[in-house]
Structure 1
Amino acid sequence: MLGWLYVCSVLCVLYPGSSGRSLEWFTALVRTEYIEPLTNTTVQGTTESGRYGDSSPKESVHGLVGFPRDPAHLEGCHPDTQYNVPGMSTEAMEGGDPWIALVARGGCTFKDKVVNAARRKASAVVIYNEAKSGNATVPMAHLGTGNTVVIMVGYPKGMDIMELLRRNIPVKMVITVGTRLVQEFISGQSVVFVAIAFITMMIISLAWLIFYYVQRFLYTGAKYGNQGNRKETKKAIGQLQLHKVKRGEKGIDIEAENCAVCIENYKPKDVVRILPCKHIFHRQCIDPWLLEHRTCPMCKLDVIKALGFWVEPDETLEIPVPESIAGSSLSVGTLSFAQEENRSEINNMPTSSTSDTLHQCNSAKEDAGETTALLGDPGSEDIPGEQIQNSGDPTSH
């Protein structure tokens, strides 16, 4: 996106208004000849000071030079402009003898000047530039002027010819095609502007890249910054009490009781973990949760701290779990086990579960990384005796 903006800005700078200009232009050789009355000598001069208009035929033309009769309207903008051609009568002008109109720039469009002069049978139009422009010439757009040759000359050249005409001295002019040049759209200011725009775009792009990688580094650090405490957390989870559910044991109805995380009923041989808050869950459901969040999903007890372990709180991510959701009414029996011969004390504590915890449990069951070493084989019959207490089984003591 930034690259396209840069390309567009460069094109706008390099080709401002280029749709109305040609890519090439031609100079015009202007040769003048007149007789100086004071010395009765012929004066000739040739300069490549003219420039053909964009729509002008690139042809040679010759004839006497004329100018507007009204000194206040030397631009030739009025449709009824009358021209004075020293050395040529009005009948000759209207009869088709070649003559060239000399008019000043400004007052109207180039097209209007050419059309008005062509209406007076002028075979060519010479427009001299403004005084502030000096010898410079500019491109001229004048579509619809037919076969009339149009050139522009600098202000000094135009005034030299105008002074002779005002003295009523006939001036012959020959216009020929000069050098073909390619239009130069790039100026010094344009180069500076393009350089500044390029540097600005590079600074913006560099700032964006720095911001992106800083954010990525912070995210990576937050994700893996608590790796040093995971061993302590796993060690603490490993000390939580385990119990294997058996059919028909007192205090738990496997047909009604279910895990608050996965919302599935307990089944015979399911291994459950008993938290310090006396809430129980499937070991496969609660262990991954505790490894990441440390708290009981139901009462939010910090299980790791309750066991006497300390983990920096700013290095762990805790996501609160809603205690209840409207329309959800599920209860889970909680068990309290004690190592007494042929006895188990069971306490039922109402809890609630959410649909969010179901997804967390299911995704945790698919984690085959760190939790595998922690959980072991959920269906194994060989669970360490110091972590499991069986209720209602006389042989468990």
Structure 2
Amino acid sequence: MKANLKLRAVHGRSCIWLSVFVFQCCFQLSASVIYWTAYVEVRYFDSVSNETVGSICECGVFGADSPLDSASGLLVLPNSDPLACSRNTTFTAKHQPWIALIKKGNCAYSQKIRAAQRQGASAVVIYNIDGMGNDTNLMAHSDAKDIVSIMVGNILGTGMSNLVKNGSDVYVAIVVANPRGLWYSSTWAYSLSFTFIGVTTITMFYFAFLFIKRMYRNQQLRKQEMEMKRENEKAIAKLEVWTLRTGDPEVESEDVSCVVCTDSFKHNEKVTVLPCRHLYHKKCIEPWLLEHPTCPMCKFHILKYKIDEESDDPPSSSDTFRLAVIRTEQLHTSDSQNTDTLGRPSDSEPEIQTQHIYENLAFEEEAERMEHQDINSQD
């Protein structure tokens, strides 16, 4: 029982630590996918309308390894390769500071960013491939961390590239905007709340189930112990109980003692005789039998004796009260030795022979009945 309870306690602690681990992983995952958006301001001179046109939108996303800083400058395209994947990629800037505009594809983000950084760019804008609209991705560029890098959608990037190709001077300003990600999403907040409530509810129900199961098991064990105690009391009530007298072998012998208390038997002490014929002080053996219904010496089980006695045929009087018969026979033998052939008492002093006094009336009545039968048979 203790092993089972210990195993359940360990299992309960494992569930708690598992829940904590799951929440920690969720938190780390949510933290890892947080990204920052960027305000992108675009200004250029329109020769048709002869005025400066400008627009601003929260349409950029900072790279995962990019510094969260602002940057501004003239927008510049690669000279030969718009993807900037070649080692010989060059940029031609009219003045400082300038920002490189590169198209996504064919090589890693780090390679594109390093190519612009070698040429002296103050920032890098990478726009998505065709067909993606204004969708953006979170860039990972661990080999190029010292320069501001953002990604914009294909529509905005293509428009700025066409303006530069048509000879317009396009100025871009990048400003840090807001954090985004699962942690900052209302959907994620609701999902996390429901997950927490669900896990908490399941954990509470689980521990409530363990508690109820433990209470039920303890109640059953208490019922079994009470039932066993009642059976032990019934079995103890049917045991032989004597009152020792002077002349009994148990009193006269110094080698015979109660195993429970290790004291010798004395005159007028009450002793209990178990079915295995071992004697003990009544006050010593009964508390023992209530907890351990076995003989302290030979481990004889008094309840097993009771079951065997009930399952077999009723035993004869000589088998049930063997010790009483022996005592009675000893008494009559002593009487016969103290009379002569004519039936007169002999001159020699008779030995004192005493018979055990039974505390259980059933044993006493049986012994008296057998004694009367023996007297009648001698007459």
TM-score by length of 2: 0.63
Distance 1:277 1:52 in 2: 92
The aligned length equals 311
Q: CA 1:130 to 1:385, structure 2 compared with 1: closer, same or farther past 3 Å? A: farther
Question: 1:210 Cα deviation (Å)?
Answer: 1.4
Rg (Cα) greater in structure? 2
* Percent identical residues: 26
Question: 1:220 Cα deviation (Å)?
Answer: 2.0
Question: 1:157 Cα deviation (Å)?
Answer: 0.3
Distance 1:32 1:256 in 2: 118
Question: 1:56 Cα deviation (Å)?
Answer: 3.2
Question: 1:172 Cα deviation (Å)?
Answer: 1.6
Distance 1:207 1:81 in 2: 64
**Amino acid in the other structure paired with 1:65:** V
Contact 2:126 2:150 in 1 (8 A): yes
**Amino acid in the other structure paired with 1:58:** D
Match in the other structure for 1:129: 128
Please say if 1:387 is aligned against 2:374: no
Q: What residue ranges of structure 2 are gaps of 5+ in the alignment?
A: 1-12, 312-321, 334-355, 364-379
Q: CA 1:131 to 1:300, structure 2 compared with 1: closer, same or farther past 3 Å? A: same
Match in the other structure for 2:372: none
Match in the other structure for 2:112: 113
Q: CA 1:263 to 1:82, structure 2 compared with 1: closer, same or farther past 3 Å? A: same
Q: CA 1:198 to 1:6, structure 2 compared with 1: closer, same or farther past 3 Å? A: farther
Q: 1:320-373 CA distances to partner (integer Å, 9 max, x unpaired)?
A: xxxxxxxxxxxxxxx93456498399xxxxxxxxxxxxxxxxxxxxxxxxxxxx
Distance 2:231 2:66 in 1: 87
Q: CA 1:57 to 1:226, structure 2 compared with 1: closer, same or farther past 3 Å? A: closer
Question: 1:164 Cα deviation (Å)?
Answer: 3.5
Distance 2:211 2:29 in 1: 36
**Amino acid in the other structure paired with 2:104:** R
Q: 1:74-129 CA distances to partner (integer Å, 9 max, x unpaired)?
A: 3323332133x5xx6xxx5xxx5443211123444444322210212223211113
Aligned pairs (5 A) from 1:137-286: 137-140=136-139, 142=141, 145=144, 148-165=147-164, 167-177=165-175, 179-181=177-179, 185-187=183-185, 188=187, 191-192=190-191, 195-196=194-195, 198-200=197-199, 202-225=201-224, 227=226, 234=233, 237-245=236-244, 249-250=248-249, 254-259=253-258, 262=260, 264=262, 266-269=264-267, 271-286=270-285
Distance 1:253 1:108 in 2: 110
Q: What residue ranges of structure 1 are gaps of 5+ in the alignment?
A: 311-334, 346-383, 390-397
Distance 1:274 1:148 in 2: 99
Question: 1:46 Cα deviation (Å)?
Answer: 0.9
Match in the other structure for 2:314: none
**Amino acid in the other structure paired with 1:174:** V
Distance 1:134 1:15 in 2: 31
Distance 2:210 2:99 in 1: 68
Match in the other structure for 2:353: none
Please say if 1:61 is aligned against 2:33: no
Distance 1:151 1:307 in 2: 91
Distance 2:237 2:274 in 1: 11
Pick from 25, 45, 62 the counterpart of residue 54 of structure 2. 45
Pick from 331, 336, 344 the counterpart of residue 343 of structure 1. 331
Higher helix content, 1 or 2: 2
Structure 2 residue matching 1:12: 3-state secondary structure: helix
Q: CA 1:214 to 1:40, structure 2 compared with 1: closer, same or farther past 3 Å? A: closer
CA RMSD of aligned residues (A): 4.4
Contact 2:113 2:149 in 1 (8 A): yes
Distance 1:12 1:344 in 2: 93
Contact 1:296 1:303 in 2 (8 A): no
Match in the other structure for 1:366: none
Q: 1:223-279 CA distances to partner (integer Å, 9 max, x unpaired)?
A: 23464685675355245332345676436664333445x383634255320134433
TM-score by length of 1: 0.61
Q: CA 1:232 to 1:14, structure 2 compared with 1: closer, same or farther past 3 Å? A: closer
